[in-house]
Every structure is written in structure tokens, then in C-alpha cells.
Structure 1
């Protein structure tokens, strides 16, 4: 945290980094799937790039966000995103009941974020 940065700004930046890490995790998961066990060079290269990006942004976010909360949010968004985009881009089946439970994961992620808000933690 810089000297001019408030804890709320630092927390907001950490959550933005976590969202980027989650987006890169989706890219990584889809690239690994497309690589067909790393036998397709272009998909394999994309997987490596997404992997490095997700690790960097996740580690940066976890400097501020507790590891348990950060990891749960990252994994939740990554898994829901991979399932959703996998269904659209890779023609993978997604049933109604699977969609319901993926929505429950996102609801949990939203509540984890709300629980980290300055008003609820007393840091306002």
C-alpha cells in the first residue's frame, strides 16, 4: 500500500486484481481443455500464458485479501466461468440443475465479497 492509498482503496485494488485473476483462470481452464492434453501447440501456449497471469494476479490480490476468501472467490468464479464459456464456446453440455448449482456458487462469491465490505468489517 502506498502512503497516499487508503485501506479501502487498497482493498478495492486487491478485489480488482482478484477479478482479473479469475478471468485469467477461466482462460486457463478453457485453454487446457482446448489443448487436448497439451498436444495442440497454440492452445498449450495460451494455457501457459493464462496460467502465469492468473498466478501473478492471484498472488497480488492475496497480499491484501485473506487467502481462504480470495482462493474461494477465485476458484468459484473460475469454475463457473469455465462451465459457462465451455458450454458456449466448446459445445459442452450444461443442464438446468448444473446451472442452478453454478448460480449458487456465484451467490456465495457475492456474499463473500459483501462480508469483506468496510461497513460490515467495521473498517469504514
Structure 2
């Protein structure tokens, strides 16, 4: 794979991958029951390292504030949506509504970043 720092689209793909790893990390931490179950704990460590690596690569191109917000949003929404599938958790209508707000915010952040990246730089006087 070429260096994502040279390609904004690749950086955003890496950020999405980092978000997916963050979901895996959050779920495996939940499964580790406070890091008392060895298998889940080891899986959590692997996902933790993967998410940090992918996030750091994406942040070579994407502003840290935007990248971190998107990464955290993907992790939060993914864990909340998949938590009931893996654990004894519930996803109520109110929770789903507010998760939708997070998703909308992440999409708007991406659109705002695209707009800023396409603007012509202003020449110095």
C-alpha cells in the first residue's frame, strides 16, 4: 500500500480501518471481564496496537481533532451497536437516536474536511 500521507482518500480509509479496530478493541475489553480472561485480553491487546498504528498513519494527513473525533465516534457507535450481539446489553430507541446523531456528526466532519482540502491555497502577499 502506498503512503496514505500522500493521499487523503487512503488516509480516510486508514481512519475507517482504525475505527474498525477500535470497535474490536472495545468489544474484546468487554469480553475480557476486566482483563481476567486471557484469550479476550490478548485479543484486546492486538486490537489496541492495530488501532493505534492505523490511527497514527491516518493522522499524518488528517487533522488530529477531526481524525480523533471520527475514530472515537466509529468506536463508540460500533461498540454500542454490536455490544448487544456479543454481550447482555440493550440498544433502546433513545440510544439509537443519539448514535444516529454521532454518525451524522462524523459524516459532516468528513464533508467539512473534504471542503477544506479542495479549496485553493491563498498566495502570500
> Structure 1 120/60 Cα, relative in aligned 2: closer, same or farther at 3 Å?
closer
More displaced stretch, 76-85 vs 87-96:
87-96
Which residue is 1:83 aligned to? 80
The match for 1:23 among 17, 20, 23 is 20
Aligned-partner Cα distance in 1 for 2:30–2:103 = 22
Aligned-partner Cα distance in 1 for 2:111–2:92 = 29
Which consecutive segments of 4 or more residues in structure 1 shift more than 6 A?
none
1:51-101 CA-to-partner distances (Å, cap 9, x unmatched) read 000000000000000000000000001000000000222131111001000
Aligned-partner Cα distance in 2 for 1:51–1:119 = 31
1:112 aligns with 2:98: no
Aligned-partner Cα distance in 2 for 1:71–1:120 = 18
Compute the TM-score of the two structures, normalised by the length of structure 2.
Answer: 0.88
> Structure 1 120/55 Cα, relative in aligned 2: closer, same or farther at 3 Å?
closer
Aligned residues: 118
The match for 1:74 among 66, 71, 75 is 71
Which residue is 1:58 aligned to? 55
Aligned-partner Cα distance in 2 for 1:24–1:32 = 12
Q: CA RMSD in A?
A: 1.9
Mapped contact 1:115–1:121 kept (Cα < 8 A):
no
- What SS does the aligned partner of 1:78 have? helix
| Structure 1: tracts of 5 or more residues without a match | none
Which residue is 2:35 aligned to? 38
| Structure 2: tracts of 5 or more residues without a match | 121-125
